[in-house]
Amino acid sequence: MLALTVKANTSLELTVTYAGNTNATIDDVAKRAHVSAMTVSRYLNDTGPVAAKTAQRIHAAIVDLNYIPHQGARALAARKTNTIGLILPEMNDIFFFQLIRGVQQAIAGQQIDLLLYSAATRGKPDVLNLPLGPHNTDGLLVFTDGLDETTLRRLHAKQFPIVMLYRTPPADLEIPTVLIENRQGAYDMVTHLVRCGHNRIAFLAGSADNEDAVWREAGYREALAAHELALISPLCASADFDEAAAANVVTHWLATGQEMDAIFAADDVSAHGAIRAVQAAGLGVPDDIAVVGFDDALLSQYIDPPLTTVRAPTEEAGRRAAAQLLRLIEGDSAELLTLLPTEIIIRQSCGWLSSNADTSQNHPTTKPD
């Protein structure tokens, strides 16, 4: 079991090797407890009555033998893996932790494992390269575009339990989905900017193929209309959720003499770019131009000035999605759509305090309307 290897050209190196290992089976436990394997199974899964005395003997045998049921065998016999899968397109932000933590909360104490797959490091899954599916999970949580539509359709056709997160499923597929209020959040943010006294509000949109981006722009447009503000076409440009692109757009606006008193960026990253561009032009945020974002990224409270933004309940999204999936797996009904509210986080980049503190009006601090 322990092998010492001396390499001639280096100093002494310690290495280990293991031989194959063996584990106690349910039959071992059964023999030691003087019952049949089936009774042990009943004891373990609570699928039938077991006399107190028998249960004690079984328990003792399990402890003595360090017995842990083999999941593969269980999955095979019971046709259930007790595992759910989470497919993420990537993993590079605190955001995903909140999501994962939510999922773990939902499965806590239920003897369910979480298999994690992130497309970023292993390539996009497709029909014949499916890392997670009916073969190793009871159901799947699919975040945004972690899974292509073909695979999604195929799994759905097999009636495999799936819950989607932050992505609307194809219109003809009845897949339960958890979404956040992108449209309403954007609408609320514009309303807040208006209340701050801004009325020439520019918009840095995200990529057109991004679902979040589309809804956020829709909310922006609706809010402008609702507040009877004209949409100034040149002031609504795409920044692709990119910091440099956002900075470029804003710099161009300023150079061409576009007038604006606020910039609403469709995400915090482009808001960051916008702030830098405004400051680089010698203007102040929020005094000359207010800048707000969307997402409440980890860094947004630390940048200068601290960013006013829209926050989504990520952890709860994970929790709710997992809960729906568990219902689906149990054969219960799940809600087709769970829409979670967003919340405006007011910091300093919107100019709320500087322009309104002196009016002494009684405004809520975090969620005005």
Assigned token pair, 242: 């990119």
Minimum Å distance from CB 126 to DNA? 19
User: Long-range pairs for 146-155 at CB < 8 Å and ≥24 separation?
Assistant: 146/87, 146/88, 146/89, 146/117, 146/119, 147/87, 148/124, 150/126, 151/125, 151/126, 151/127, 154/127
Judged by beta carbon distances under 5 to 8 A according to partner kind, the member of a copy of itself, DNA, none in contact with residue 81 is a copy of itself
Verify binding: residue 140, a copy of itself, rule CB under 8 A: no
Q: Which of residues 73-102 bind DNA (CB under 7 A)?
A: 73-74, 76-79
- Residue nearer to DNA on the CB measure, 31 or 327: 31
Contacts with DNA by CB under 7 A: the residue count is 32
Minimum Å distance from CB 315 to a copy of itself? 10
Minimum Å distance from CB 75 to a copy of itself? 3
**DSSP symbol at 206:** -
Q: Are 245 and 239 in contact (CB under 8 A)?
A: yes
Part of the chain binding a copy of itself (CB under 8 A), chosen from 64-72, 260-268, 281-289, 344-352: 64-72
Minimum Å distance from CB 267 to a copy of itself? 18
Q: Are 182 and 221 in contact (CB under 8 A)?
A: no
Instruction: In whole angstroms, give the CA distance from residue 180 to residue 162.
Output: 18
Instruction: In whole angstroms, give the CA distance from residue 197 to residue 223.
Output: 15
Verify binding: residue 64, DNA, rule CB under 7 A: no
Smallest CA-to-CA distance from 190 within 166, 218, 220, 235 is with 220
Instruction: In whole angstroms, give the CA distance from residue 326 to residue 329.
Output: 5
Burial class (CB in 10 A: 0-12, 13-18, 19+), 325: buried
Q: Which of residues 24-53 bind a copy of itself (CB under 8 A)?
A: none
Q: Which of residues 171-190 bind a copy of itself (CB under 8 A)?
A: 174-176
Verify binding: residue 159, a copy of itself, rule CB under 8 A: yes
Minimum Å distance from CB 41 to a copy of itself? 15
**DSSP symbol at 308:** B
Residue 136, Cβ neighbours under 10 Å: how many? 15
Verify binding: residue 137, DNA, rule CB under 7 A: no
Verify binding: residue 340, DNA, rule CB under 7 A: no
Q: Which of residues 92-111 bind a copy of itself (CB under 8 A)?
A: 92-94, 96-97, 100-101, 104-105, 108-109
Verify binding: residue 233, a copy of itself, rule CB under 8 A: no
Assigned token pair, 343: 């919340």
| Bridge partners (DSSP) listed for residue 78 | none
The residue assigned the tokens 């509210």 is 341
* C-alpha 65: how far from chain center: 40
- Residue nearer to DNA on the CB measure, 34 or 158: 34
Contacts with a copy of itself by CB under 8 A: the residue count is 81
Verify binding: residue 340, a copy of itself, rule CB under 8 A: no
* Residue ranges binding DNA (CB under 7 A): 23, 25-27, 34-42, 44-45, 47-54, 67, 69-70, 73-74, 76-79
